[in-house]
Amino acid sequence: MLCCVLGGCGRTSKVTREDLDSFRKHTFWSDKKTVFSSTVSALQDMRYVVRTTDYASGLITAETLATDGRQKNTGRRFVSAFVEEFPNEGTAVHLDFVADKGSGRSVKEVFVFDRRLYEEVFDKIEQKVRGRQQIQLYQLQQNRD
């Protein structure tokens, strides 16, 4: 069944945990403060409502609001992000997306393994990190002058 969820029932190869983890984690070459704030900002740009942030632990949680019946996807999507800095190795962001499936009393939460979704979020975070780094560089140059 997991094979069907990940991309088609016609596949015969097994999906390993390493395959799943490979697109759910990304490392950025920046400090934790920059990556953490960039992650929050990227999620907000993607219309997620940030519910909790804890810089000390690196945890961010957010969710989409339920949509009305006229739109295709009426369930909510939840995301948790864990931001962790590694000295001399950058700052890693690990994402987990969960979506509501079903309706009424049969609503259940399932993990979302859509590689494109994770890539979209990481691309948005990367843009935010670069923007913040450019601002920091500009401020440093201004302070030297």
Parse the chain into domains and list their residue ranges. 16-144
Higher pLDDT, residue 56 or 110: 56
What whole-number distance in Å separates Cα of residue 111 and Cα of residue 114? 9
Query: Residue 136 above 80 pLDDT?
Result: yes
| pLDDT value for 20 | 67
H or E stretch at 53: strand 49-54
Higher pLDDT, residue 32 or 144: 32
Give tens-digit pLDDT for 61-113: 999 986 645 445 557 899 999 999 999 999 999 999 999 887 767 778 898 98
* Cα angle, residue 39 at apex, residues 82 and 93 outer, rounded to 5°: 35
Nearest residue to 48 via CA among 111, 106, 125, 107: 125
The CATH number of 16-144 is 3.30.530.50
Mean pLDDT of the chain: 84
